[in-house]
A and B are shown apart, each in its own frame.
Chain A
Amino acid sequence: MIPEFGHFALIIALCLAVLLTLVPLWGAWRRDINAMALAPGLAMGLLVFTGISFVCLAAAFLQDDFSVEVVANNSNSLLPAMYKFSAVWGNHEGSLLLWVLILAGWTAAVAVFSPQLPLLMLSRVLSMMGFVAVGFLSFSLFTSNPFARLLPGTPADGQDLNPLLQDPGLIIHPPLLYMGYVGFSVAFAFAIAALLGGRLDAAWARWSRPWTNVAWAFLTLGIMLGSWWAYYELGWGGWWFWDPVENASFMPWLAGTALLHSLAVTEKRGLFKSWTVLLAIFTFSLSLLGTFLVRSGVLTSVHAFATDPARGLFILVFLGIVVGGSLTLYALRAPAVSSRVGFGWLSRESLLLVNNVVFTVATLTVLFGTLFPLLMDALGQGKYSVGPPYFNAVFVPLMALLMPFMGVGPLSRWKQDSVRRWRRELLVPAIATLACGVTLPLLHGDYNIWAALAILLAAWLLLALLRDLWNRVKNASSPVAGLRRLAPSYWGMLVAHLGFAAAVLGVVLTSQFAIERDIKMSPGDRETLAGYEFRFLEVGGVRGPNYVADEARFAVYRDGRELVRLAPQKRRYLASGDIMTEAAIDAGFFRDLFVAMGEPVGEEGAWAIRLHYKPFVRWMWAGAVLMAIGGFLTVADRRYRRQRRAARERLREEAAHGAQA
């Protein structure tokens, strides 16, 4: 009964989404206030009914209702309750429902948190989001119904969730990632609404900016969690594979990074308007493309749950409508909204333009590398694969090109700046940077040119930011007072840029200095890696809730003292019979120690063992977390609150006047 209820709720949600698309848009066209005023209510209704539908599916999973097909295929009575819940989105149908739920959540959030928006704008924005919801709700209902039943023929037990997905990190990775992916639909909806109204101004950018920043921050967290999960769960010790599915989430991130910087220029200076709109369309299109790549089964990976050409076609057509429609609208309306303000060569605008060009080019190269194999296959030119070396060769130089400009950016002035001022401000940081770049790599014995370059660039970012911070604080009565006076949006920028520097350091230093060794070890063997002695003590058997495992027990010694015990496992899951590697990691600020089991080798109880020493690997994820925190901080800025408070007061006054009259 519950699944039918959920199915019904989903159908109602689709009807509401259709109404949300049509009624406010019609109202905006006819200037019918009553029709436009329906938009927020419809948005809330959409959230409520998608929510009911999602809760019903979750209930089916938690109650082990194996008559529902997705539950039978992706859950098992032995599965721990936590994973039964996360199994809701551990499959194609359920993860799509989560997508729709999050979209409904964003739509409702726009309806609730935008009292300052003119009704005309709000109704257009919500209508656009309703349109996206129509697309995905009908995709869910017509091609991948999560509530399809197996009646008759209900299995006694389910086939279990893919063991790779049975992990705490994977419980929150998809929701966070979707928060980011789908969040860009808000920026997209604002852009389209602005194009429809023909009014692209600083106010539009100010409305759209906090949404974009939050979506970007969520996407950053989601990507970071995915990378972290791959590191400890896949048992390879790798953290980024340039896998097409990773790229699918990384491309919107790159385009989104360009978008939020471009929005800054549009808000502050009223420039780059058409470009910003184009970027908003581009970013959301890449989110849709990512969904298409992952969900259609054209790519195979752990993320591709099912392959069904009808599904791929559906998303492709929807993508075509969204991209084609919005670009047509752009072509018709963009010239009317172009700007007439100029800016000097040496100015913050120019530096942000560099950011935009670099990130756009980076997005396009990643896009090319991701689509190249599909393209060649479609043309019958053979089955190519484009590996990490391609992406590294293209991506790393682009980021290196970006960073020198990134240091100057925060210090520079809008409109017009001068070399003389830059020289005055940046001479000290530049000298200190050079000193860091030359001396710090010496700490690690042999001089590594790549590490030196990374340290140089990261130090440049850090020191230039500190210089800027000093400039802003030095005139205050005390440093603390100066720091307190800084706006949250400035703190957001500072933290996010520092995070970027930390991530760059982490990526380059682990890549350069990691030691990875695959060896054959028997209990009693010892192996020394970067000064750490790994002693293989024994192999024991372990029984988990839904698996049995061999566990290798290691003690790690440093300078004759025991540091930590590590116990990697080789698990066999009972329901599916799948074998899984569970790595053991000793995490540290400066280094990780990583042990994973391969397979048994030879007769005397020897195992293939993977030992890794990974310096600075945490810095990468810590850096990503800082970037996300920076993104969230910007939203706390006073100017957004002020405009909302003003709007609320105005509404209240109007209501009071209305009551008097």
Chain B
Amino acid sequence: MHPVRRQRLFLVLFIVLVSTVAISLVAYALRGNINLFYPPVEVAQGKAPVGQKIRVGGMVVEGSVQRSADSLEVRFEVTDYEATVPVVYTGILPDLFDEGQGAVAAGKLDEQGVLQASEVLAKHDENYMPPEVAEALEASKQRRMEAGQ
């Protein structure tokens, strides 16, 4: 084969090889490391998988935040005003986490339907609402209005 052509062939093979490695890494990494958002109502309907990493978000129910006396464990509930999901989290909550405000918890749902959160996200500033929470609340409001009519 012509040397230039052979070089090109090897070059193409090399690029194909690296891309294959990259694509398989991507596929492997994606399988375990993406998580889907569920509004509380879907969790209550049993649509959310148990034992898989998911995100659940809504408003933190007023008066639901309970701190443990001897550890950093905290329990609270998030709601979209149709259903509520209890959340357990151990650690330090973000600065802007508060009752009556939007929050997103990432973690795994246990058999009792409690979200064992490994991460809690709140808004960055006063005006900000996590977009998936805003959308879930909007959808819930629509459904309740339709039910009311």
Q: Give chain A's interface residues, CB within 8 Å of chain B.
A: 162, 164, 235, 300-302, 342, 345, 353, 357-358, 361, 364-365, 368-369, 372, 382-387, 389-391, 393-394, 397-398, 401, 518-520, 576-581, 596, 598-599, 601-602, 608, 610
Contact = CB atoms under 8 A, between A and B. Distances in A.
B19 interface: yes
B30 interface: yes
B126 to A, nearest CB: 6
A86 B18 CA distance: 44
Interface in B51-102: 55, 67, 69-72, 90-93, 95-96
A232 B19 CA distance: 37
A262 to B, nearest CB: 14
Interface in B111-149: 124-126, 128, 130-132, 135
B93 to A, nearest CB: 7
A389 B25 CA distance: 12
16 contacts: A300-B128, A300-B130, A342-B3, A361-B19, A361-B22, A368-B26, A372-B30, A385-B37, A386-B34, A389-B29, A390-B33, A393-B28, A397-B25, A518-B72, A579-B96, A580-B95
Nearest to A576: B126
Contact of A518 (B7, B15, B92): B92
Contacts of A342: 3-4, 7
Contact of A394 (B11, B29, B135): B29
Contacts of A610: 92
Nearest to B95: A579
Contact of A164 (B3, B11, B124): B124
B36 interface: yes
Given A342-B3, A520-B71, A602-B67, A393 B25 contact: yes
A384 B35 contact: yes
A156 to B, nearest CB: 18
B132 A383 contact: yes
Contact of B91 (A384, A518, A577, A602): A518
Contacts of B106: 385
What bracket does the count of chain B residues touching chain A fall in? 35 or more
B32 interface: yes
Given A301-B124, A358-B18, A364-B22, A599 B34 contact: no
B136 to A, nearest CB: 9
Contact of A386 (B3, B4, B30, B132): B30
Interface in B1-42: 3-4, 7, 10-11, 14-15, 18-19, 21-22, 25-26, 28-30, 32-37
A342 B3 CA distance: 9
B14 A357 contact: yes
Contact of B25 (A365, A387, A599): A365
A214 to B, nearest CB: 29
Given A164-B124, A357-B14, A357-B15, A385 B35 contact: yes
Contact of A365 (B22, B34, B67): B22
Given A383-B36, A386-B33, 20 more contacts: A235-B95, A300-B128, A300-B130, A353-B11, A358-B18, A368-B26, A372-B34, A382-B36, A383-B135, A390-B34, A393-B28, A393-B33, A398-B25, A401-B18, A518-B90, A520-B70, A578-B125, A580-B95, A581-B95, A608-B92
A609 B65 CA distance: 19
A482 to B, nearest CB: 36
B35 A576 contact: no
B127 to A, nearest CB: 9
Contacts of A300: 124, 128, 130-131
Nearest to B6: A345
A398 B11 contact: no
Contacts of A365: 22, 25-26
A384 B34 contact: yes
Please give me the 5 A-B residue pairs with the lowest Cβ-Cβ distance, nearest first: A598-B92, A393-B29, A383-B37, A389-B33, A390-B33
Of A384, A387, A389, A598, which is in contact with the most chain B CB atoms at under 10 Å from its CB?
A387
A357 B13 CA distance: 12
Contacts of B34: 372, 384-387, 390
B37 A599 contact: no
A598 B22 contact: no
Contacts of B21: 397, 401
B57 to A, nearest CB: 9
A601 B29 contact: no
B65 to A, nearest CB: 10
A602 B69 CA distance: 6
A610 B93 CA distance: 11
Contacts of B15: 357
Nearest to B130: A300
Contacts of A382: 36-37
